[in-house]
Amino acid sequence: MSERSVNENNKLWEAAERVAEKVVAAKKAESEEERRKQKKRIVKLVLLMTLIALIIVFASIAWFAQNKAVSANTMAVSAAPSPFELETVGYANNDYIDLFNMADPEYEEGEQQGSTSAYRTGTAQQIRWRLDSDDDDSYTEGFRPGASGSLTFKVVPKGVDSVTVNCKFNIRAFVGNYNDTTGDLESIDEVTSATTDNDQKDACNYINGHILFFQNKTTVSGNDIYSGYIGTNGLNVTATGGNTQTVTVYWKWVNTFDQMILKSTDSYNDYPLIADSGGTAQQDRDALIAYIKANYSKIFSGLSSEDQTSISSITYDNLKNSALLGALCDAYNAADQIIGVNLDYFMLELTADVGTSSNN
């Protein structure tokens, strides 16, 4: 009896173990299934999110584009309504257009306004500045130190509201590739940070430092006097109540460094750019001195480390009769020389953004 009961007990235990194993296996299978389902749910959720995002994007683009018929390639960028356009008036001959096409073909002609010589940005983001006889009078034989000019453009609001845009100036530099035999220009390479020739990069820096922009110009005794210096923060232009605002900017590649600072009463003056006093003369002179201090590496070439240190404390009074003035004039001329020897073309680019910039 006792032997039988032991055997039976063992069998019963074995049976119970088998049942338990089956139950555990079944539970495992269930949780596997659950996990798989959860994974599927995550993937579905991600796909759904993507789909929703795509629907939102396409809906927005479709809305932007609905009032313009343009190609699919450009609609996202160019068809969206802008609060303003830029307008330029004048001529653009074939040589000028060819140069642009070689330098930056992204620049377009723009939209002609009726049969006038006025062109607006329209759907284009960037257009070629058209010239008038005043623009290139001072550099018919090439752009060089002492050259000056004026550039006129219009800010045209798209609606009835006032629009304020900040206009900044940038100079891009290019080097031409000429045919060895005919001497014809074949292509133009832009000088960028990737350019390997350091002289060309220096020259690009210097040309940006040497060209100054002003809001006004008057002629006194045959000399041009500038006022309303436009610094690196650019010029804010407001077109009020939906009216077109015409802006003329005067630029000057200063011939000698002292012209930026000195007054006509100073011993070493050489046709100063800025009036001796009155108007914004004091403010402009101070702004230029601040500009020189902050950007001396873009203005001077080959300055000694002592002179570089001295620049940080220059004022009109301590500079006008100093030995440093002579050193700075020489270093300015050296930088001009580097520009002339290393660069062939320059592009004066105005970028207008909605909004304002301070210190202006």
For the segment 185-244, give every residue that binds another protein (CB under 8 A): 207
Q: Which amino acid is at 107?
A: Y
Where would I find the beta strands (DSSP E) of 158-309?
163-178, 185-190, 211-220, 223-230, 235-239, 245-253
**329 near another protein (CB under 8 A):** no
Encoded one letter per residue, x for contact with another protein by CB under 8 A and - for no contact, window 279-298 reads --------------------
Among 43, 62, 70, 294, binds another protein (CB under 8 A): 43
Distance CA 303, CA 292 (A): 13
Alpha-helical regions (H) of 146-280 = 198-210
Length of the chain: 360
Cα torsion angle, 204, 210, 216, 218, sign: negative
- Residues 306, 309, 312, CA angle at the centre, nearest 5°? 150
Show the tokens assigned to 197: 């020739």
Shortest Cβ distance from residue 192 to another protein (Å)?
16
Cα separations (Å) of 281 from 55, 88, 164, 274, 287? 57, 30, 26, 6, 10
Q: State which of positions 91-110 bind another protein (CB under 8 A).
A: 96, 99-100, 103-104, 107
Among 22, 290, 354, 360, binds another protein (CB under 8 A): 354
Stretch binding another protein (CB under 8 A), from 133-141, 222-230, 260-268, 318-326: 133-141
Q: Which is nearer to another protein, 247 or 262 (CB)?
A: 247
Q: Which is nearer to another protein, 129 or 296 (CB)?
A: 129
Encoded one letter per residue, x for contact with another protein by CB under 8 A and - for no contact, window 46-85 reads xx-xx--xx-xx--x---x-----------xxx-xxxxxx
Q: Which is nearer to another protein, 3 or 95 (CB)?
A: 95
Give which of 262, 259, 347, 245 is closest to 299, Cα–Cα.
259
Q: Which is nearer to another protein, 183 or 278 (CB)?
A: 183
Shortest Cβ distance from residue 339 to another protein (Å)?
7
Contacts of 303 by beta carbon, 8 Å cutoff, 6+ apart: 296, 311, 327, 328, 331
**350 near another protein (CB under 8 A):** yes
Shortest Cβ distance from residue 10 to another protein (Å)?
41
Asked if 117 and 128 touch (Cβ cutoff 8 Å), the reply is no
Q: Which is nearer to another protein, 181 or 193 (CB)?
A: 181
Q: What is the residue whose two structure tokens read 């032991």?
A: 6
**118 near another protein (CB under 8 A):** no
Size of the site for another protein (CB under 8 A): 71
**38 near another protein (CB under 8 A):** yes
Among 148, 151, 258, 299, binds another protein (CB under 8 A): 151
* Helices 198-210, 281-299: crossing angle, 10 deg rounding: 180
Residue 230's beta-bridge partner residues?
213
Stretch binding another protein (CB under 8 A), from 265-273, 280-288, 323-331, 350-358: 350-358
